[in-house]
Structure 1
Amino acid sequence: MTMTSDYASTEPAREEIDDLSGPTLLEFGAPWCGYCMAAQPLLSSAFASHEGVRHIKVEDGRGRRLGRSFGIKLWPSLIFLDNGKEVARLVRPTSAEAIAQAFAQIDH
């Protein structure tokens, strides 16, 4: 799989996320968010060596239940899941290294 470039306007249900198998990066943010835009090159760099990881990019905001269920307060928030369970979390990452270290925890 490859990195997703567009935010999904419709969020999946929490049950769908919890039932996922394999490694998944769940990214919360918004297309107009400066922090989110700044993180994209870092994500792209880290994703290059983790093409087997599913990427779900969800537009977050007021009234969005999935983000609230994960306790999202700042964007971008990256939730690294292994078989639907949270293994690592990065909020407003500033280095590809930190992202790569989190990827290493789910992409064996």
Structure 2
Amino acid sequence: MKKILIAGMALVLAACVAKPTMYYWGDYSATLYQYKAEPSEETLAQHYVSIQDVFNKSQEYGLRVPPGVNAEYATLLLKQGKKADALVYFEKEKATYPESALLMDRMIQMVGAK
């Protein structure tokens, strides 16, 4: 009986550790809040790391990148003057979430015009 109980507990705990079913957010919200609350190179660097983690884990788990993350990353790249890279991420957002096409097309057009 004790072995069955232990096996059952292990199964329940394993279910809690399972991969996310829809999106992987990681520390994204916390680092974004921290960056907005205390803008600095350090908090921005932490947010970049969390975005990269979202990209990596989403790919690892076979999930789509959460809505808006590609577009936000594109905006951050644009602020660094990396227009070509920003365009790639605006296109990724548009491809992943077709409902964002109107906004992403406008962003792409604005970046291309600069």
TM-score, length basis structure 1: 0.25
Tell me: higher relative CO, structure 1 or 2? Use CA pairs within 8 A at least 6 residues apart. Answer: 1
Q: Which structure dedicates a bigger proportion of its chain to helix?
A: 2
